[in-house]
Amino acid sequence: MTDPAITRLLADQLGVDDVSALLDHATVLEVAGGNVLCRDCEPLDSLYMLLEGRLDMAVEVAGHGIHLGEITPGNWIGEVTLFSTEDGAVSTVVTRGPARLLRLPYGEFMSLARAAPELACRLAHTLNAMLIQRLRATVNDPILDADGQLLMLGKLSLPLPAHHEHHGVRDFMRKLMGVG
């Protein structure tokens, strides 16, 4: 794949000039509006970076969808599943209109890590920085629960891996909201 716009976007995001190894492991998808890219709790096998269009993100709790926000070009989805021990998506993501995405299957991310470790490390750092930014945005703009009540965010620390408990973001949010 040699699309100069995609190459420049990735290079700017990752702080490197050569992103060809990443592009060798990825594909570009054209998706119509209204398509579900991933559904909360269902298996997910890829990272996606939105190149063009808009996506809506929501979590599903107690049979209700809670809108988390809009994803704009340059943002990634699927990073939580990549970094967790679960294989299910932690949100539902739907295309708002026609969208163009870069798809990097998780297995290809691992291949990238072997072929170009610095590039994979830069991508992992970018994904982690994005997660932190999203967490801060959530704290600064709390989410309403399914009944329209303000969800007061409390202690946001997750159990450390040394405790041998693996709780995903989805389970954390459900526990925080007192649902199943």
Residue range 86-139, pLDDT digits in tens? 788 888 999 999 999 999 999 999 999 999 999 999 999 999 888 887 777 666
Give bridge partners of residue 98 from the DSSP assignment.
Answer: none
Which residue in 14, 25, 23 sits closest to 118, CA to CA?
Answer: 14
Q: What is the pTM of this model?
A: 0.75
Number of domains in the chain: 1
Segments in the chain below pLDDT 50? 152-167
**Dihedral pair phi/psi, residue 133, rounded to 5°:** -60, -40
Torsion of CA 115, 88, 140, 11, to 10 degrees: 20
Q: What is the CATH number of the domain that holds 59?
A: 2.60.120.10
Write out the residue range of the structural domain in which residue 162 sits. 4-176
